[in-house]
Amino acid sequence: MGGVAELVIREMKEAYALGKIPTSDWQANQAYFQLVVFAYNLLNWFRRFCLPEPWQRLTLRRFASGSCWYRVNSSAAGEAAPQVAHSFPYQDEFLGTLRRIRHLKLPSAK
C-alpha cells in the first residue's frame, strides 16, 4: 500500500503542482491543497467511468501528451457533432469516450 501512496504523492507533486505551494498564507494554501486533491480525484473518476480500460491507468502527464485536434460542428438539426483529425491514431477510443460521457447517469437523490 505504501508504494501506491508514494506514486499518488509523486503524481500530485509533479503533474498537479502540489509541490509548489503558492503563498505563505495557511488558509490560502489549505484551499489550494483541497483544489489539487479535488482535481486529482475528478480525473480519477473520469478515467474510471469514461475511458476505455487500457487507458484508465494513464497519469495526467501521459493523458495530456496524447492531445489531438478536435472540433465540434453543428449538424442540420442543431446538434453538436464531434470531429477528430483523421491523422489522430485513437479516433475510435476518443469518440467512444465521448459516447460514454453522454450516457453517464447521475445517481438519484434519496
pTM: 0.66
Q: Which three cell numbers stand for residue 103?
A: 450516457
Instruction: Quote the percentage of the chain above a pLDDT of 70.
Output: 76
pLDDT, tens digit (0-9, with 9 covering 90-100), for 4-21: 788 888 888 888 888 888
Q: Which residues pair with 72 in a beta bridge?
A: 82
Q: How confident is the model at residue 88 (pLDDT cuts 50, 70, 90)?
A: confident
For residue 105, what pLDDT is reported? 84
Residue 59 contacts residue 11 (beta carbons within 8 Å): yes
pLDDT of residue 28: 92
